């Protein structure tokens, strides 16, 4: 019944993000395990280039200068950067 009510009110299912090679992305600050300074802290950090897909929703990033980031990142911690 709840699913039917959601459809009637216009709620759409969550869409997965799709990145292609050389897309610019930001990563979530909290996910990088950096020290949290408080509620006024930045929520997103860096400007990274998407390198390749490792698995479904998992990506390898690299810095703009070409240095590969050491960990893989899931799509929920990435946000596309529009120029």
Q: How many folded domains does the chain comprise?
A: 1
Domain assignment present for residue 8? The answer is no
Range of the domain at 76: 17-80
Q: Does the global pTM surpass 0.95?
A: no
DSSP string, 11-77: --PPPPP---TT-EEEEETGGGTPPP--TTS-SEEEEEEEEEEEETTEEEEEETTSPEEEEEEEGGG
**What are 41's two structure tokens?**
């802290």
Domain assignment present for residue 10? The answer is no
Percent of the chain with pLDDT over 90: 20
Q: CATH number for the domain including 25? A: 2.30.30.140
Domain assignment present for residue 31? The answer is yes
- Per-residue pLDDT of 33-64, as tens digits, reads 666 667 777 788 889 998 888 888 889 999 99
Give the span between the Cα atoms of 13 and 67, in whole angstroms.
36
């Amino acid at each position: 019944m709840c699913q039917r009510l959601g459809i009637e009110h216009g709620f759409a299912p969550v869409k997965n993000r799709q990145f292609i090679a050389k897309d610019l992305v930001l990563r979530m600050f909290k996910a990088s395990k950096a020290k949290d300074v408080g509620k006024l802290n930045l929520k997103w950090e860096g400007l990274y280039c998407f390198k390749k897909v490792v698995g479904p929703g998992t990506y390898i990033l690299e810095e703009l200068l070409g240095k590969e980031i050491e960990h893989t990142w899931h799509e929920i911690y990435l946000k596309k950067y529009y120029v």
